[in-house]
Amino acid sequence: MTTEVAEQPQKPQQEPLARRLSGLGWGFIIKLLLMMLVNALGVAVIMSAWNAQAWVILGASVILLVAADWVYFSRRTLALKYIYPGLVFLLIFQVFTMIYTAYVATTNYGAGHNVSLDQAVDAALIQAERQVAEAETLPLAVVRDGETLGFAVSIGGVISVGTAEEPLTPVDGGAIDENGRPTEVPGWEVIPRLEILSDQELAQDVTDLRVAVSDNAEDGSLRTREGSTVSTFTSSLEWDPDTVTLTNTETGVEYTPNEYGTFVGTDGTTLPVGYRVNIGFENFVTAVTDPDYAKPLLRVTAWTFGFAILTVVSSFLLGLLFALIYNDERVRGRKFLRTLFILPYAFPAFLSALLWRGMLNAEFGVINEWFFFGANINWLGDPWVAKFAILWVNLWLSYPYWFLVCTGALQALPTETTEAAKLDGAGRWRQFRSITFPLLLVSTAPLAIASFAFNFNNFTIIYLLTNGGPRFTDTSVPLGHTDILISAIYQISGVAGGRADYGLASALSIVVFIVVGVVSAIAFRQTRKLEEIQ
């Protein structure tokens, strides 16, 4: 009797790791490496937001990072894998920007009110610092540890070191020269005085540095004016967080913040530094009710619409005229002439504006010299003449665009309709008015709307040609006769100098956004009727 031995099932051999990875494909490995970089960057942003206590940014970063991992490691989100990067960029560069602008528009953010309450208190205390009369002037050694600057002084033969974050603390060891100035400080690099004098940025950092004498703020802080000696300074203001007041210890005046974040004293005086607070829609109300803003902004708004509309209409008509002329086969040298007429479009707009500004100069500009026999025409100094000059220069810059667009549109028009009109006896004008122009508007009307939106915010031509001037003489606001809304926002924001009012500038930005959006929506709605022509 034969006994058959059942074959024992063999255990499958474990596949080598390299073969398993190759089975996954190089695409997965590359995706894994890229997602490692994305997660590392995301964690870095989250940690930075945590340290800065920016809770909104932290929450948004966590959501976007978790969503990215889910999208790219899930098999059911194929479409999102392509859409997600665009959505993230849209949220960061468009939606977030608009939301933050709207937030700033509801605050008094601007000159003197651009910090938080704690920062405003610190700034007020620093501004009120005075040198202690009986304080000893000590020889100073400026030291650093990486990016951290500090002061090193010798008190009673013992070297002490302090930074902006840490008060003076004794250190062991070190060396002092015959004048009592530390020359060697353990754990710190002594910066040569010559380096401080030769590096303007470093010198500014040294003079801005304040080192607390001790943990008790009433003991004052060490400051230097020339980088070789330090003295003790104390503030004449005293902060009471319980009552939210600053008190001048010399005069007894008590400063309390009002609803606008300004510290107002019992004697009616105010401190130069305030803090940012929410004021609701007051910036929008100010723009239409404050006499200093309402009247000039109304004129600026009217000119903005006039400038945008006249620019689009004039450049479109001139470009269309040249397109009709040079689309005629009877014109010789059409290619050369077309190239010549689009040259203004090839020059950078900012360079063209600067060149025209020089040529339109009333004293030595070539326009007056060559074309007006040396007449002293104030092209950029008279309100109405300056507006005409802007429209002329912008026409010179804009018509080549419409020349190209209309040339292409004319060449794309069907010839059957025109031939039929000729057979019916329609003349050239009737063909253009009833056939060519309506068909041309079908393709050019959306571009005209986009051109209107562009010129509504055409900051370059205004800023470089007239800088918004000449200025209004009946208001203290730094606005002028040729300012459009976008350049007025620039002036009010204080970027170019003067008193900054970011809150009001942001409110006007929201208004411009709404106006352009509404006008564009209405215009696009109307252009749908042109499609019936086809």
Q: What pLDDT, on a 0 to 100 scale, did the predictor assign at position 2?
A: 47
The CA distance from 453 to 524, in Å, is 12
Handedness of CA 218, 219, 222, 223 (dihedral sign): positive
Predicted local confidence at residue 312, as pLDDT: 96
449-470 pLDDT, tens digit per residue, is 999 999 999 999 999 999 999 9
Amino acid at 172: D
- Taking CA atoms, 225 is separated from 74, 189, 293, 413, in Å, by 62, 21, 42, 76
Q: Please tell me the distance from the alpha carbon of residue 473 to that of residue 494, in angstroms, as a whole number.
A: 19
Cα–Cα distance list, 532 to 65, 152, 422, 441, 529 (Å) = 48, 82, 23, 12, 6
Task: Check: CB of residue 502 under 8 Å from CB of residue 430.
Answer: no
Assess contact for 488 and 95: CB atoms under 8 A.
Answer: no
Task: Give the per-residue pLDDT at 456.
Answer: 95
* Residue 16: pLDDT band with limits 50, 70, 90: low
Cβ atoms of 132 and 233 closer than 8 Å? yes
The pLDDT of 240-257, averaged and rounded, is 93
User: What is the predicted pLDDT for the residue at 530?
Assistant: 61
235 closest CA partner among 131, 138, 112, 117: 131
Q: What is the tens place of the pLDDT at every residue in 205-232?
A: 999 899 999 888 778 899 998 889 999 9
CA distance 420 to 415: 9
Question: What is residue 533's predicted lDDT score, i.e. its pLDDT?
Answer: 52
- The pLDDT tens digits of the residues spanning 172-208 come to 989 999 889 999 999 999 999 899 999 999 999 999 8
Query: Distance (Å, rounded) from C-alpha 350 to C-alpha 352?
Result: 5
Question: In the predicted model, is pLDDT for residue 1 greater than 50?
Answer: no
Neighbours of 73 (CB within 10 A): 12
| pLDDT tens, position by position, 424-445 | 777 888 888 888 888 888 889 8
Mean pLDDT of the chain: 88
Q: What is the mean pLDDT of residues 485-491?
A: 94
Residues of the chain with pLDDT > 90, as a percent, come to 58
CA atoms within 13 A on the CB side of 134: 1
pLDDT class for 13, splitting at 50, 70, 90?
low
CB atoms within 10 A of CB 177: 12
Residue 181 φ/ψ region, left for φ over 0, alpha for ψ in the -120 to 50 degree band, beta for the rest: beta
> What global pTM score does this model have?
0.79
Positive or negative, the CA dihedral 338, 343, 349, 355 is negative
Lookup: tokens for 24: 């996954």
